[in-house]
Amino acid sequence: MLDKTYRPSEVEPKHYEQWEKSGAFAARTDSNRSPYTIMMPPPNVTGSLHMGHALTFTLQDVLVRYHRMAGRDALWQPGTDHAGIATQMVVERQLEAQGVTRHDLGRDKFIERVWDWKAESGGTITRQLRRLGASPDWAKERFTMDEGLSDAVRKVFVTLYKQGLIYRDKRLVNWDPKLHTAISDLEVEQREVKGHMWHFKYPVEGEEGVFITVATTRPETMLGDSAVAVHPEDERYAALVGKMVRLPIVGRLIPIVADEYSDPTKGTGAVKITPAHDFNDFEVGKRHDLPQINIFDRDAKLNDAVPEDYRGMDRYDARKKIIAAMEELELLDKVEPNPHTVPYGDRSGVVIEPWLTDQWYVDAPTLAKPALEAVETGKTKFHPKHWENTYYEWMRNIQPWCVSRQIWWGHQVPAWYGPDGHVFVEEQEAEALAAAAAHYGKAVELTRDTDVLDTWFSSALWPFSTLGWPQETPELKRYYPTDVLVTGFDIIFFWVARMMMMGLHFMGDVPFKDIYIHALVRDEKGQKMSKSKGNVIDPLVLMDKFGCDAVRFTLAALAAQGRDIKLAENRVEGYRNFATKLWNAARFCQMNECAPVDGFAPDAVKEIVNRWVVGKVAETADKVAQALAGYRYDAAANAAYQFVWGTFCDWYLEFAKPIFGGTDEAAKAETRATAAWVLDSILHILHPFMPFITEELWSQMGNRDTQLMLRPWPVLPGLHDGAAEEEMDWVVRMISTIRAVRSEMNVPPSAQVELLATGLTAAKGEWAKTHADLINRLARLAVLETAADPQRVAQAFSHGAAQMVVDEATLVLPLAGIIDVDKERARLEKEIVRVESEVAKVDKKFANPDFVARAAPEVVEENRERRDEWMAAKTKLQEALQRLSGA
RNA sequence: GGGCGGUUAGCUCAGCCGGUAGAGCGCCUGCUUUACACGCAGGAUGUCGGCGGUUCGAACCCGUCACCGCCCA
């Protein structure tokens, strides 16, 4: 016997362990089923489960579990990435606590410490994924720093280098002066700040008392100025173009150049040009062949390229000093408040400095072309579709991808330098040495490049490196390209685009056929969750409180396409209640001896209620499957919810009660078997969403030798029975109508009244007889007269009665002593008004001659029928009102 | 400035091909109906953001405006 309530904390670990141990998650290369593959976007090895993870992994698990049941050989490839900077920072912070820096340890020892840390703490997120019920093939778990994945990284780097698609270049990068590394554009956060615009007067050389005024938000960079630019069509400055100015403080002579970059409407229309410290100025500098004067060191302190007084100063101290000096020189024209954006490193939180360095670049513009084409031609499809615009936008404007990072934790660049700086790019040192020997004609010593590669470089290879590439493994052959990538929009640039480029280049095919982009989880007020706001909802806490299944179901039910998820705890509570409801329904079945019957054939049931419900099961299984095929998680979850609660519990089980309590043994046996079958089907349908409770009920509701998670998805053609549906819909309509009138007329629930039906068609009279037990029980009637004697009806009226219309029939509820005649009259009048308004709506359509002439005939016909029905109802209600008044 | 998304019941949101506006929560009323009060039954609530257009017919299609959110510059 099932416990009184479902206790998730006792059930969840048990089933998870069984699934994992029994190999139920494993994909099988030798399977004859067609593969279904999802690459799990690898969470950071430093990570722990947050709501975003809970959403994305729930959605992936729903797909994987569903497709596994639907007969596919499902591979959900798990793993984590090494998260270069993040991980390095974690370990550095630990060292800091012991008063040690990574430089004290040295590179090798430090890397060892990181691996130690990974072994100890790196498994947090994968443990938490198990808590969530995720069903990836854990045996295949990979890590971006694995040997195999590292081989892939080296192979890709060397191949691209030899193809001319990776090169070394000196360009401006986003330099993080705290972390001492280049970071990607995407790791730079543009923050709006209330800054100032300083207007500096630069004296024009050779023209006493003539100045050109430039406006800048970064006064300190003037020490690196190499020109002043004005717009070529700006007449104010036309005469000055070609002249020189004497840069204050520094004393350097710099030219005034004409360049369209200068915006005549902004500031003074003249702009100082610092090619080594601003991305736009860098371009201007190249156009005018200006010197690039680097004035900062790696800490963003001033270097020896500036006047002695300023050397070694911090950039912000220098700013103050410059402003003071300019004021002193009477060259500070004015200062205006100026809100503008400033780049911050999203990891370090410090202001990023554009800095000239030598870095490794991937020729992204070249690789992007096939990646763009793959989406344009529909080889890979975005869901929802509009995200392809974001992808196009990014891919069409893609810049060379700087892949080197000046940190230690990551894949070290496979490049070695000879004594003269000549570079040898090879997968192994031995090969580099050999290449060098060939180049120099003798063996030489080489030094390896100290940089490591951007983490996204290795994650870009994830869809094939995890399958064994560059080895030609059976997995690679079978599971690439994958079916779908499920992820948030925030990493379309970071990751999706890069996997597309690498996949196409190295595998010759797209890495996935579909890309499902889901929303962000926000708090109930729609704000982004953040630690600083304190509005973070921890999925683990929610799971403790409501059970994992409730959390999963909530996330799926709220995952409507194109909208963020506002998560409120009461939603989770509601779906916990749903789990309880299911549990209790199963208990009810158990108490009534509804056990699964071997060889039960749902298409052979005879009782109308049973024929009706099996049809609904088929319909629901179908709806859920179709919704999932279109990534409509919300629709899938709601279809299941509505059937389980609104049809199975609210109606079918209630219909079953009088049968169970009755004397028709054949009907009883059939209904028991049907109820058990329906419940089993429900468990199948809900399993992808609620794996734990369904597996538990599956194991408790019968003698099973299989796990639910490996059972086939219900595909049930031919079960829909239109006649049964029409009949049961009528029964439901009867009961609902009677209940509503009882409630409105304040008939006590305990009062068992009789019902006199008149005007039933012959067919419905039969239905009424067949289902009298059901109707009586659910509408709380003592007797149902299916063809009431007119005299009885008249008599009923003389003592007071309520009346209602169901289709063509009038139902009379004798309520002697209970009924308030005025109230009943008012109720009927209100009902008539409502019906009249329905008639009026249809009449309005017919009043327009074009409607009949131009609308589709079936629409016209449908409206005509509807009008007839409403009119008939109106007539009956009016008769009822008259009878009441005559009584 | 460019792009995308949103605006439907008190709240959160569905509403696929244009043809009778829905759900959950909340609210109100009643109920120890032997599965379930994490429940049952019943009920109220809408200028589908504004304006214009297309159409026999618009929550839905088109245009425009307003407001909110996000991304990019």
User: Which regions of chain A are under pLDDT 70?
Assistant: 524-526, 532, 886-887
Taking the CA of residue A667 and the C1' sugar atom of nucleotide B65, their distance in angstroms comes to 65
A219 close to A322: Cβ distance less than 8 angstroms: yes
Mode of pairing for the β-strands spanning A565-566 and A521-522 = parallel
Taking the CA of residue A624 and the C1' sugar atom of nucleotide B16, their distance in angstroms comes to 14
Amino acid whose CA is nearest the C1' of B38: A577
- pLDDT of res. A819: 79
Question: Residues with Cβ < 8 Å from A138, sequence gap 6 or more?
Answer: A20, A25, A78, A126
Tokens of A1: 């016997």
Strand, coil or helix: what is A464?
helix
The tally of CA atoms less than 13 A away on the side-chain side of residue A184 is 22
**Longest CA–CA separation in chain A, Å:** 122
- pLDDT of res. A129: 93
Question: Which one-letter amino acid corresponds to residue A480?
Answer: Y
Taking the CA of residue A795 and the C1' sugar atom of nucleotide B45, their distance in angstroms comes to 39
Tokens of A65: 């579990």
With b for 16 or more beta-carbon neighbours within 10 A and e for fewer, the A449-483 pattern comes to bebbbbbbbbbbbbbbbbbbbbeeeebbebbbbbb
CA–C1' nearest nucleotide, residue A188? B72
Taking the CA of residue A568 and the C1' sugar atom of nucleotide B22, their distance in angstroms comes to 21
CA–C1' nearest nucleotide, residue A742? B42
Count of residues making up chain A:
887
Amino acid whose CA is nearest the C1' of B71: A390
Tokens of A72: 């596919």
Q: A868 vs A807, A838, A884, CA distance in Å?
A: 11, 11, 24
Tokens of A366: 């070249």
Question: Residues with Cβ < 8 Å from A154, sequence gap 6 or more?
Answer: A411, A414, A427, A428
A165 close to A105: Cβ distance less than 8 angstroms: no
Tokens of A634: 């919300």
Tokens of A693: 């409770």
Strand, coil or helix: what is A627?
helix
Going by the DSSP 8-state scheme, the letter that residue A309 receives in this structure is G
A295 close to A221: Cβ distance less than 8 angstroms: yes
Taking the CA of residue A688 and the C1' sugar atom of nucleotide B28, their distance in angstroms comes to 38
- pLDDT of res. A800: 82
Query: E strands within A682-800?
Result: 753-758, 781-785
What does the alpha-carbon distance between residue A782 and residue A787 come to, in Å, rounded to a whole number? 16
Residues 729-748 of A with CB under 7 A from strand B: 736, 739-740, 743-744, 748
A245 close to A203: Cβ distance less than 8 angstroms: yes
Match 């029928």 to its residue by tokens. Answer: A865
A774 close to A608: Cβ distance less than 8 angstroms: no
Handedness of CA A835, A836, A841, A846 (dihedral sign): positive
What does the alpha-carbon distance between residue A403 and residue A451 come to, in Å, rounded to a whole number? 9
Backbone angles phi, psi at A162, to 5 degrees: -70, -20
Identify the bridge partners of residue A515 per DSSP, sorted by sequence position.
Answer: A382, A485
Asked if the Cβ of residue A667 lies within 7 A of any atom of strand B, the reply is no
Count of beta carbons in the 10 Å neighbourhood of residue A657: 16
By C-alpha distance, which of A356, A342, A298 is closest to A176? A298
Backbone angles phi, psi at A368, to 5 degrees: -70, -25
Asked if the Cβ of residue A347 lies within 7 A of any atom of strand B, the reply is no
Q: Is A156 left (phi over 0), alpha (psi -120 to 50) or beta?
A: alpha
pTM of the model: 0.90
Establish whether the linkage from the previous residue to A688 is cis, with ω within 30° of 0: no
Going by the DSSP 8-state scheme, the letter that residue A83 receives in this structure is -
What does the alpha-carbon distance between residue A462 and residue A478 come to, in Å, rounded to a whole number? 15
The tally of CA atoms less than 13 A away on the side-chain side of residue A858 is 0
The tally of CA atoms less than 13 A away on the side-chain side of residue A486 is 27
Query: E strands within A759-836?
Result: 781-785, 801-806, 809-814
Asked if the Cβ of residue A850 lies within 7 A of any atom of strand B, the reply is yes
By C-alpha distance, which of A70, A69, A63 is closest to A37? A63
Tokens of A266: 């902004």
Going by the DSSP 8-state scheme, the letter that residue A359 receives in this structure is E
The tally of CA atoms less than 13 A away on the side-chain side of residue A685 is 31
By C-alpha distance, which of A700, A732, A699 is closest to A613? A732
A844 annotated binding-site participant: no
Going by the DSSP 8-state scheme, the letter that residue A278 receives in this structure is -
CA–C1' nearest nucleotide, residue A635? B14
- How many helices (H) and strands (E) are present in chain A, helices listed first? 31, 29
With b for 16 or more beta-carbon neighbours within 10 A and e for fewer, the A760-770 pattern comes to beeebeebbee
What does the alpha-carbon distance between residue A589 and residue A649 come to, in Å, rounded to a whole number? 11
What does the alpha-carbon distance between residue A860 and residue A182 come to, in Å, rounded to a whole number? 69
What does the alpha-carbon distance between residue A314 and residue A297 come to, in Å, rounded to a whole number? 10
Establish whether the linkage from the previous residue to A264 is cis, with ω within 30° of 0: no
Burial class (CB in 10 A: 0-12, 13-18, 19+), A428: exposed
By C-alpha distance, which of A296, A333, A312 is closest to A211? A333
Asked if the Cβ of residue A562 lies within 7 A of any atom of strand B, the reply is yes
Count of beta carbons in the 10 Å neighbourhood of residue A751: 12
Q: Report chain A's terminal Cα–Cα distance, integer Å.
A: 56
Q: Please report which helix (H) or strand (E) contains residue A543, including its range.
A: helix A539-546
Q: Report pLDDT digits (tens) over A7-60.
A: 999 999 999 999 999 999 999 999 999 999 999 999 888 888 888 899 999 999
Going by the DSSP 8-state scheme, the letter that residue A410 receives in this structure is S
Q: Please report which helix (H) or strand (E) contains residue A483, including its range.
A: strand A482-488
Please give the angle made by the CA atoms of A807, A812 and A814, to the nearest 5 degrees. Answer: 165
Asked if the Cβ of residue A638 lies within 7 A of any atom of strand B, the reply is yes
Going by the DSSP 8-state scheme, the letter that residue A650 receives in this structure is I
Q: Please report which helix (H) or strand (E) contains residue A316, including its range.
A: helix A315-328
- pLDDT of res. A133: 94
- pLDDT of res. A207: 82
What does the alpha-carbon distance between residue A719 and residue A640 come to, in Å, rounded to a whole number? 18
- pLDDT of res. A105: 85
- pLDDT of res. A266: 73
Tokens of A16: 């998870």
The tally of CA atoms less than 13 A away on the side-chain side of residue A314 is 6
Asked if the Cβ of residue A44 lies within 7 A of any atom of strand B, the reply is no
Asked if the Cβ of residue A687 lies within 7 A of any atom of strand B, the reply is no
Backbone angles phi, psi at A136, to 5 degrees: -75, 165
Chain B bases having any atom below 7 Å from a protein CB: 3-6, 12-15, 19-21, 23-26, 29-33, 35-36, 38-43, 55-57, 70-73
